[in-house]
Amino acid sequence: MSAVSSGPGRLLLVGGGNMGGAMLRGWVDFGLPADDLHVVDPQPGEALRALIAEGRLRHSTTVPTSPFDVVVLAVKPQVMGDILPNLAPALTPETLVISVAAGKTIAFIAATLGERPIVRAMPNTPALIGRGITGCFANPLVTPALRDKAEALLSASGAVVWVEAEADIDAVTAVSGSGPAYVFHLTEALAAAGEAMGLAPDLAMTLARHTVAGAGELMIQSPEAPAQLRRNVTSPNGTTQAALDVLMAEDGLGPLMRHAVTAARDRARELSKD
């Protein structure tokens, strides 16, 4: 994190919504000075409005005319095409562009912004509490120093991993970019199952939330693999085994998850064509 504290230079974030806002929180908490952090968003949401009110960053509704060292694109993929032509005043040939937009390729971005250092990054919303993970791909114009800068910035949101093939970003999107939603839905489904067995809704949700959160934390803190942690819960012929016989059946969670994650990956591929 020292690179962020010592300054990545001037950073422009385009789009301070759910994802941009979550990354912003990490940059603010890690001490990026307000004068070096500028957000363009014509309709700032609640989180961004709070940071603006606290004086933690600069904000405008259009792209500023001064150049930036790093420009992070966090608008919806569908509006990327409208945004890119407006960015010229904020760019120098050395500006590092980081895009978190699902599906939008480096070639798509370079077609408007020109050949330049570009990183495609796929973060996730646990970034809001510094517990995200970001998968990244850098084009060949990203020097080792720029890669370090990107990694320092993105690690303000949690872990950072790099992939060697740009196409893998679509799979990263499907696994970890969208992944928090699967876990939240699992929590909803677990609570609903408890409710269906007669537990009060609040109690069922409390049990489900703490179970998912506790199991998640255990997976991070324990040296044991998830499969072993699962075995540790499963007494032979006990209650867990009865449930896992359903979840691990041929038509259980495994194929369903593969089906769902493949749908997300395929949608990322489609977004590249919009």
Ligand X SMILES: NC(=O)C1=CN([C@@H]2O[C@H](COP(=O)(O)OP(=O)(O)OC[C@H]3O[C@@H](n4cnc5c(N)ncnc54)[C@H](O)[C@@H]3O)[C@@H](O)[C@H]2O)C=CC1
Ligand Y SMILES: O=C(O)[C@@H]1CCC=N1
Q: Residue 74, annotated ligand binder?
A: yes
Q: Residue 76, annotated ligand binder?
A: yes
Q: Residue 117, annotated ligand binder?
A: no
Question: Is residue 75 within the footprint of ligand X (CB under 6 A)?
Answer: yes
Buried b (16+ CB within 10 A) or exposed e, 56-74: bbbbeeebeeebbbbbbbb
Q: Residue 79, annotated ligand binder?
A: no
**Cα separation of 250 and 208, whole Å?**
25
Question: Is residue 15 within the footprint of ligand Y (CB under 6 A)?
Answer: no
> What minimum distance in Å lies between the beta carbon of 104 and ligand Y?
11
* Among 105, 134, 157, 178, contact with ligand Y (rule: CB under 6 A): 178
> What minimum distance in Å lies between the beta carbon of 53 and ligand Y?
27
Binding to ligand X, residues 103-122 (CB under 6 A): 122
Task: Specify which residues 135 forms β-bridges with.
Answer: 122, 161
* Contacts by residues 29-37 (CB-CB < 8 Å, ≥ 24 positions apart): 29/130, 29/156, 30/1, 30/4, 30/5, 30/156, 31/4, 31/5, 32/4, 32/7, 32/8, 33/7, 34/58, 36/7, 36/8, 36/9, 36/10, 36/11, 37/11, 37/13
Q: Which does 153 bind (CB under 5 to 8 A by kind): ligand Y, ligand X, none?
A: none
> What minimum distance in Å lies between the beta carbon of 182 and ligand X?
12
CB 211 within 8 Å of CB 155: no
Binding to ligand X, residues 177-206 (CB under 6 A): 177
> What minimum distance in Å lies between the beta carbon of 178 and ligand Y?
4
**Cα separation of 5 and 30, whole Å?**
6
Question: Is residue 132 within the footprint of ligand Y (CB under 6 A)?
Answer: no
Binding to ligand X, residues 23-52 (CB under 6 A): 40-43, 45
Q: Which residues bind ligand X (CB under 6 A)?
A: 14-20, 40-43, 45, 74-77, 79, 83, 100-102, 122-125, 177
Q: Which residues bind ligand Y (CB under 6 A)?
A: 102, 173, 177-178
